[in-house]
Amino acid sequence: QEKMMKIIIYLFESSAVLIVLYLLYEVFMKKETFFNFNRFYLIGIVAFSLLLPFISFDFNKGKIAAVDHSIEEFNDFRMSYYETIETWEYKAFNESIPEEASIVSNKQENSPVDWETIVIMALLGVYIMGVLIYVSKLLWTLSRLKRMVSTYPKTKINGVMVVNIPDPSASFSFFGYAFIYKEKMETAEINQIIAHEKVHIEQRHSIDLIFVQLIAAFLWFNPLIWRLIKSL
């Protein structure tokens, strides 16, 4: 039970950090045109939110009092709910052990239901089911893209391998391929579309998306992770 609670706390802390840092992006950087900086910021805050819960802030004090004070307050906040959970576990453990006299006189009685464990198990069960669903969805998407590459006709234009898709969807790229609706191949804007997708290919944006989609599968309950993917 203690390990399960630590997992829940870790997910809570990661989500809270991600929410704060993404809201900073929405307020200060969303409308800026420093696209590469924004790209690395969005990827960086995902990685940082996963690592922060593992970081200990119990180190030697520095020279900046304000920073030290903020770190102490954050550390005290983290310790407070760890101590609260330990108190709950201690009480639950003591209450689950009946006195000897009670055992003798109530041998036929059933033991009380441990609702705390049941709730924790149910939450983790729902969480794991969500992870499996989103990982499966990502694998299905990758498999579908692979089938599209092998099924539809391809043309190399301006150094880009273009897959002519029959569905009138928006153009997109994935690794070395640009997926473009076949009716757009004869339009005047085709060179502009290919140039746009070529930038995505050269900067390997597909790796960014796969990485964030994988993390999103583990933080699927946090609605801001999906907005972050759209921003990216």
- The 10s digit of each residue's pLDDT in 10-69 is 898 999 999 999 999 999 888 877 888 999 999 999 999 998 887 754 544 454 444 455
CB 193, CB 165: distance < 8 Å? no
Would you state the pLDDT for residue 211? 93
pLDDT in tens, 166-178: 988 889 999 999 9
CB 217, CB 134: distance < 8 Å? yes
Which of residues 6 and 1 earns the better pLDDT score?
6
pLDDT in tens, 57-109: 454 445 444 445 544 555 565 556 556 555 655 555 555 555 544 444 454 45
- In this structure, is the dihedral angle defined by the CA atoms of residues 167, 172, 173 and 174, taken in order, positive or negative? negative
Give the residues across from 179 on adjacent strands.
163, 172
The two structure tokens encoding residue 159: 């150094």
Could you tell me how many residues make up the chain? 232
The kind and range of the H/E element at 172 are: strand 172-174
186-216 exposure pattern, b = at least 16 Cβ within 10 A, e = fewer:
eeeebeebbeebbebbeeebbebbeebbebb
Helix (H, G, I), strand (E, B) or coil at 188: coil
pLDDT in tens, 111-152: 677 778 888 889 889 999 999 999 999 999 999 999 999 999
The kind and range of the H/E element at 155 are: strand 154-157
pLDDT in tens, 163-206: 999 988 889 999 999 999 999 988 889 999 999 999 999 999 99
In angstroms, how far is the first alpha carbon of the chain from the final one?
Answer: 37
Express as a percent the part of the chain with pLDDT over 70. Answer: 75
The CA distance from 105 to 108, in Å, is 8
pTM for this entry: 0.71
Would you state the pLDDT for residue 40? 92
Would you state the pLDDT for residue 168? 87
CB 172, CB 179: distance < 8 Å? yes
Pure H helices in the chain: 2-24, 35-51, 65-95, 100-105, 115-151, 190-202, 205-218, 223-231
**CA angle (49, 50, 53) in 5-degree steps:** 85
Residue 183 DSSP symbol: G
